């Protein structure tokens, strides 16, 4: 590819042809601030925070760096007096209609707008005070709220919902000064076909949208002596939680996380990876049964509640393709309130099951029908990684100084197969490890064809006398593409893994938020996924069927995978929903 020569603040650098001014500055080691820009998602040059001076031989002029292409011998000034004044004025205008209750905002200290105001010395936020629009907070959805009083109209949420997820339930309503982000006909988000993935929260630069916080309820349960409060943590949480405490992206904090949860007062600290291993036992068995007995194929995974809800809304005729297995979160909760409750002599009504998830859709999932194996909800509270981070911080726990501690037995025992559930392709790989062993007796622990952050991956594996064709999909726009091909007969698979969030759970809507300056230039998905694959490689047991705690739960309680009791406790049903 041809390279161009440009000067950034007087320093000559070589950049690939087609680079924007923003990208050229990054190559030169200079970060130009942005608010609306999100690489490959929202490249609209609307907010004007990235305004930069360029000279292409006709004198310096101001351009939007995020969308303006470089030309050969271009001169770029990223922080001239004119640039600084323009950005400062833009910030003052944004603040003129912004609800400035920063002290109580969930994003205080981690807000892109707040940081820019500090960086550019905005001392008087009321310079352009005047008429403002007032909005009611929309808390109609099970997983999140929307506060348009804090919205800066960057449209990142609109873009990720439409382009990345292929859903588009929010957009810009009205025009001019009256513009606001909302749903069609101003419906509450809970009335739409939103799938609760939370990707809009992940990209929002301010506190206009966030998950519903249930940390106070969990702390109240911990303080109740009549309750036994159990906690389970999803595999992706250990790969992201450290970011809440300033640790580098891709830091494994499994041990410190377990230690912090004990210090918060949970009675037992368990690992959702056990539930993932249990899911594999049931899912691999279900797949084999479908293949042998002419069941509905392709079978599609059911671990991602955002994907499941998407299927119910947009591909209702394919709900029969969904595995009937509950997700690892729900399987774990169901097992805790049946097998574990019986083993420990605890009334399931006295158990409070809390899950720590990288996913906002888990908040919706815990309220679904057919998720109450013991006559009470399998899981009582689903908290995001961010909520756990806030709990630890508010409790005054010095997270980075904590020792590494282990999960409690027996529901804290897991294998490498359970760990990799948090990355796209991990469920498929884990299921194939056990399915291949069950059918052929062979041990397979590495399937590189289904790894990586690509949105759509395909592979074919020889299992005995059968060629098993599989697909791995992450991001719901990609899911739509693959499922439409299946419906048209243009694609033929036996088994499909689908995760709602691009890159899988490591990039879930409940993970720590990273600013655009990081998201645009760092593959967060790959860095977090590496944590899980490194853990898998280091573990003595890497296949779900090898887990001694899994063997025990079948011997003592379920009998065998796919048994009547297993179906009563570990499997679920789906509904065909309309599109709103």
Q: Are residues 291 and 361 in the same domain?
A: yes
Q: Are residues 259 and 205 in the same domain?
A: no
Specify if 93 maps to a domain. Answer: no
**Residue 63 CA to its chain's centroid (Å):** 34
The beta strand positions in 292-409, using DSSP E, are 299-300, 351-357, 381-384
- Smallest CA-to-CA distance from 298 within 490, 481, 471 is with 471
Q: Are residues 318 and 353 in the same domain?
A: yes
Q: Are residues 160 and 34 in the same domain?
A: no
What pairs with residue 458 in β-bridges?
471
- Smallest CA-to-CA distance from 232 within 468, 436, 412 is with 412
| pLDDT at res. 124 | 82
- Give the other-Cβ count within 10 Å of 228's Cβ: 21
Specify if 111 maps to a domain. Answer: no
Asked if 262 and 450 touch (Cβ cutoff 8 Å), the reply is: no
| pLDDT at res. 321 | 97
Q: Are residues 152 and 238 in the same domain?
A: no
pLDDT tens across 86-126, in order? 999 999 999 999 999 999 999 999 999 999 999 999 988 78
Specify if 94 maps to a domain. Answer: no
Specify if 188 maps to a domain. Answer: yes
Specify if 546 maps to a domain. Answer: yes
Q: Are residues 276 and 383 in the same domain?
A: yes
Indicate which CATH number applies to the domain containing 346. 3.40.50.1780
Indicate which CATH number applies to the domain containing 206. 3.30.70.20
- Domains in the chain, number: 3
- Interaxial angle between packed helices 328-335 and 272-293, expressed in degrees from 0 to 180 and rounded to the nearest 10: 110
- Smallest CA-to-CA distance from 232 within 269, 260, 259 is with 269
Domain that holds residue 13: 3-79
pLDDT band, residue 367 (cuts 50/70/90): very high
Specify if 86 maps to a domain. Answer: no
Q: Are residues 288 and 418 in the same domain?
A: yes
Asked if 516 and 154 touch (Cβ cutoff 8 Å), the reply is: no
Indicate which CATH number applies to the domain containing 61. 3.10.20.740
H-helix or E-strand spanning residue 115: helix 112-119
Question: For the purposes of burial, counting CB atoms within 10 Å of the CB of 261, is it exposed (0-12), middle (13-18) or buried (19 or more)?
Answer: buried
Q: Are residues 230 and 198 in the same domain?
A: no
| pLDDT at res. 319 | 97
**Tokens read off for 315:** 């591909």
Specify if 95 maps to a domain. Answer: no
Q: Is the pLDDT of residue 1 over 70?
A: no
Q: Is the pLDDT of residue 149 over 90?
A: yes
Q: Are residues 449 and 370 in the same domain?
A: yes
pLDDT tens across 502-537, in order? 999 999 999 999 999 999 999 999 999 999 999 999
In the chain, the percentage of residues whose pLDDT exceeds 90 is 94
500 contacts: CB under 8 Å, gap ≥ 6? 165, 195, 197, 304, 305, 306, 307, 310, 361, 474, 475, 476, 479
Question: For the purposes of burial, counting CB atoms within 10 Å of the CB of 293, is it exposed (0-12), middle (13-18) or buried (19 or more)?
Answer: exposed
**Residue 391 CA to its chain's centroid (Å):** 19
Asked if 494 and 467 touch (Cβ cutoff 8 Å), the reply is: no
Specify if 139 maps to a domain. Answer: yes
Which of 187, 210, 233 corresponds to the end of one domain? 210
Strand 228-233 versus strand 351-357 pairing type? parallel
Which of 181, 210, 239 corresponds to the end of one domain? 210
Q: Are residues 325 and 354 in the same domain?
A: yes
- Smallest CA-to-CA distance from 114 within 38, 46, 208, 227 is with 208
Q: Is the overall model pTM greater than 0.85, yes or no? A: yes
H-helix or E-strand spanning residue 173: strand 171-173
Q: Are residues 240 and 189 in the same domain?
A: no
Q: Are residues 200 and 260 in the same domain?
A: no
Which of 210, 231, 248 corresponds to the end of one domain? 210
């Amino acid at each position: 590819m041809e390279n161009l020569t440009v000067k950034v603040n007087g320093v000559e650098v070589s950049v690939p042809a087609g680079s924007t001014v923003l990208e050229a500055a990054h190559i030169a080691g200079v970060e130009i601030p942005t608010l609306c820009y999100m690489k490959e998602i929202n490249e609209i040059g609307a907010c004007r925070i990235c305004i930069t001076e360029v000279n292409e031989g006709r004198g310096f002029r101001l351009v939007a760096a995020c969308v303006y292409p470089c030309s050969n011998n271009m001169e770029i000034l990223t922080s001239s007096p004119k640039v600084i004044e323009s950005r400062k004025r833009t910030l003052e205008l944004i603040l003129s209609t912004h609800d400035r209750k920063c002290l109580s905002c969930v994003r205080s200290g981690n807000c892109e707008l707040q940081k820019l105001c500090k960086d550019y010395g905005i001392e008087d936020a009321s310079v352009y005070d005047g008429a403002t629009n007032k909005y009611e907070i929309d808390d109609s959805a099970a997983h999140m709220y929307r506060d348009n009083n804090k919205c800066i109209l960057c449209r990142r949420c609109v873009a990720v919902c439409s382009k990345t997820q292929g859903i588009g339930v929010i957009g810009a309503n009205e025009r001019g000064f009256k513009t606001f982000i909302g749903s069609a006909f101003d419906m509450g988000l809970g009335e739409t076909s939103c799938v609760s993935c939370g990707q809009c929260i992940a990209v929002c630069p301010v506190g206009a949208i966030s998950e519903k916080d249930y940390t106070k309820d969990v702390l109240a349960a911990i303080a109740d002596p009549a309750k036994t409060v159990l906690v389970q943590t999803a595999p992706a949480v250990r790969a992201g939680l450290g970011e809440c405490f300033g640790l580098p992206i891709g830091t494994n904090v499994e041990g410190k996380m377990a230690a912090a949860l004990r210090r918060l007062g949970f009675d037992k600290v368990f690992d959702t990876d056990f539930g993932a291993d249990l899911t594999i036992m049931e899912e691999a068995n279900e797949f084999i049964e479908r293949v042998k007995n002419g069941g509905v194929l392709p079978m599609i995974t059911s671990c991602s509640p955002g994907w499941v809800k998407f299927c119910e809304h947009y591909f209702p005729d394919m709900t029969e393709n969904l595995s009937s297995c509950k997700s690892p979160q729900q399987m774990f909760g169901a097992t805790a309130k049946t097998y574990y409750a019986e083993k420990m002599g605890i009334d399931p009504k006295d158990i409070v099951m809390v899950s720590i998830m990288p996913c906002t859709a888990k908040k919706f999932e815990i309220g679904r029908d057919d998720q109450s194996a013991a006559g009470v909800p399998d899981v009582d509270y689903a908290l995001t990684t961010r909520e756990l981070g806030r709990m630890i911080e508010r409790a005054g726990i010095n997270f980075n100084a904590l020792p590494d501690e282990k999960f409690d037995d027996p529901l804290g025992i897991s294998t490498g197969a359970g760990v990799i559930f948090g990355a796209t392709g991990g469920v498929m790989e884990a299921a194939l490890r056990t399915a291949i062993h069950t059918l052929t007796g062979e041990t397979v622990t590495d399937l590189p064809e289904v790894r990586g952050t690509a949105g759509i991956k395909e592979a074919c594996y020889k299992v005995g006398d059968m060629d098993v064709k599989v697909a791995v999909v992450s991001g719901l726009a990609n899911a739509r593409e693959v499922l439409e091909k299946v419906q048209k007969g243009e694609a033929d698979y036996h088994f499909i893994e689908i995760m709602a969030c691009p890159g899988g759970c490591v990039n879930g809507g409940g993970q720590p938020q990273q600013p655009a300056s990081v998201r645009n230039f760092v593959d967060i998905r790959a860095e977090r996924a590496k944590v899980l694959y490194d853990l898998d490689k280091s573990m003595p047991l890497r296949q779900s069927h090898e887990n001694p705690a899994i063997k025990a739960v079948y011997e003592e309680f379920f009998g065998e995978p796919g048994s009547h009791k297993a179906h009563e406790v570990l499997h679920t049903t789906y509904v065909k929903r309309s599109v709103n």
